[in-house]
Amino acid sequence: METALKAIAAPRRRQILRLVRDHELSAGEIALHFDVTRPAVSQDLTLLKEAGLLDERRNGTKRLYRVRPAGLKDLRAFLEEFWDPRLDALKLEAEREEKRKDGNDD
C-alpha cells in the first residue's frame, strides 16, 4: 500500500495509469509519450507493477500493460478509510458484497 501511494505521487506515473486505463499499450508506446529515456519509463512500469496497479501481458517480444483495477480499488479503499475511519463498517459490508458477486472488478 505504501508502494502504491508513492507510485501515484509522481505525475508521470499517474499519467501512465491514465494512458492504460482503458486500452493496453506496449512499453514502447507508453515511453513515446514522455521525454525521458525508455529505461526510465520501464522503471516506472516496474514500480507500478510492484505496487499492484498494473498488469503485464507478454505477446511475442512485446509487453503490454494495462491498469489493474483491483489494485486501484484497494488503494481507493485505503484512502476512503483514511479520510474517515468510521467507514470501516460500510467497507466490510461492501467487501462481503464483492465476494458475493465474485470476481467483479468495479
Contact footprint for DNA (CB under 7 A):
6, 10, 12, 26-29, 36-40, 42-47, 56, 58-64
Q: DSSP string of the chain?
A: -HHHHHHHTSHHHHHHHHHTSSS-EEHHHHHHTSSS-HHHHHHHHHHHHHTT-EEEEEETTEEEEEE-HHHHHHHHHHHHHHH-GGGHHHHHHHHHHHHHH-S---
* Shorter beta-carbon distance to DNA: residue 47 or 67: 47
The residues that touch a second copy, with contacts defined as CB under 8 A, are: 2, 5-6, 8-9, 11, 14, 18, 72, 76, 79, 82-83, 85
Q: Which entry of DNA, a second copy, none binds 79, CB below 5 to 8 A by partner kind?
A: a second copy
